[in-house]
Amino acid sequence: MLIVQVFARVHPEFVDAFKAATLDNATHSIQEPGIVRFDVLQQQDDPTRFTLVEAYTTPDAPAAHKATAHYARWRDAVEPMMAEPRTNVKYGDVFVPVA
C-alpha cells in the first residue's frame, strides 16, 4: 500500500471554497478501485491548513487517480486558492487497519 499525505495552505478567504472542492474530490476518489482511504483534515489551530491522507492499493494508483475528471476539476479549482505550493510525503504501510 502507498499512503500519501498532501499538505495545503489556502488563503483565508478561500477556506470554505477549498473545503467544498476537496470534499467533492474526496467523495469521488473513494469510489476509485485503487483508493482505500481519502481523508480530509483541517488543522484546528490554523484553519487555512489542510492535510489529505490518501491510501492507494498500488504504486500505480495515484497516476490513475490524477487521470480522473474529478481530480482535474479539483486541481484547477484549488490552484488559485493556494497560499503556497502543495507538498506531499509518501509512506509505506506498517499497520493500517481497514474498516
- Backbone φ and ψ for 30, nearest 5 degrees, come out as -70, -10
- Which residues are 87's β-sheet partners? 7
Question: Class of the 2-50+59-92 domain?
Answer: alpha beta
pLDDT digits (tens, 9 = 90+) for 24-63: 999 999 999 999 999 999 999 999 999 999 999 999 999 9
**Residue 3 in 3-state DSSP?**
strand
Q: What band does 98 get if pLDDT is binned at 50, 70 and 90?
A: low
Break the chain into its structural domains and give their ranges.
Answer: 2-50+59-92
Neighbours of 25 (CB within 10 A): 23
Position of cell 499538505?
Answer: 7
pLDDT at 18: 98
Contacts of 24 (CB under 8 A, 6+ apart): 70, 73, 74
Cβ neighbours, 10 Å, residue 75: 13
